[in-house]
Homo-oligomer: A and B are copies of this chain.
Amino acid sequence: MITLYDLPTKTVPGTMITWRTRYALNLKNLPFQVVDVELPDVEALAKKIGAAPTSTKSDGVSPFYTIPIIQDDSTGAVVSDSIDIAAYLDKTYPSSGPVLIPTGTKALQLAFSSAVVDAFAPFRPFFAHNMTKKVNDATAAYFLRVRLGGVAKDAPEGEEREKLLTSAKQNLGKINKWFEGSEGDFVMGNEPCFADTAICAFLQFTRTMLGEESEEWKDVASWDDGRWGKYLEIFKPYEKLL
């Protein structure tokens, strides 16, 4: 059995990046269990189970540990970082589900997922406002201290809100243009790959944070001829939480 270490929330589980791995595991039809870890406990967990750090802290030296992390009982492997997890799943379970990182495309997949992260940046003030309410106290306090500098942000309103939404719309519109001439619904055509999990992870998180019934989410879902809402519909079978 594969264990996915993920952040517990009061509503839909998981945080933006860990959704890449939930989708990946489900796309590859691999059974997994989820073990909750609050953000302030990620470093201790990673050290305990031998998960590698994924980058360095702002001092440029100290190792920085992040989720998702998976632990695979059948091989003993512990893997962190969503791209490395996808590569591990491709290598270990080659005949199960689509190849997430077709040969030679790793750098391209990372360029795409980086573009996705940047494109969703204008939503961050909306996320920040809602995040502290939707996670447990330990994570909320950590998030407030480490990521928000101790100050809870108000939801963006008025002119600021319009500006952020317009900017997000332009960013997603740019990505939408990259799909022009594509024969399927996915980044690489007819089969989903790592880049699709990167987009859907952010769409999923955006929907949770804005609220599925909110005016903002309905807007996002309708942009680019409804591509973003439709994307999550297509990925719905891969949302299942084992």
Chain A residues within 8 Å of B, Cβ to Cβ: 102-112, 114-115, 174-175, 177-179, 181-182, 187-189, 191, 195
Q: Which of B103, B178, B191 contacts A111 (CB 8 A)?
A: B178
Max chain B Cβ within 10 angstroms of own Cβ: one of A109, A112, A175: A112
Distance between A196 CB and nearest chain B CB, rounded to angstroms: 10
- Complex CA gap A115/B116 in Å reads 11
Q: How many chain copies?
A: 2
Of all chain B residues, which has the CB nearest A113?
Answer: B111
Q: Are A115 and B111 in contact (CB under 8 A)?
A: yes
Q: Are B107 and A187 in contact (CB under 8 A)?
A: yes
Q: Which of B105, B177, B191 contacts A108 (CB 8 A)?
A: B105
Max chain B Cβ within 10 angstroms of own Cβ: one of A174, A187, A191: A187
Q: Are B181 and A106 in contact (CB under 8 A)?
A: yes
Max chain B Cβ within 10 angstroms of own Cβ: one of A102, A104, A175: A104
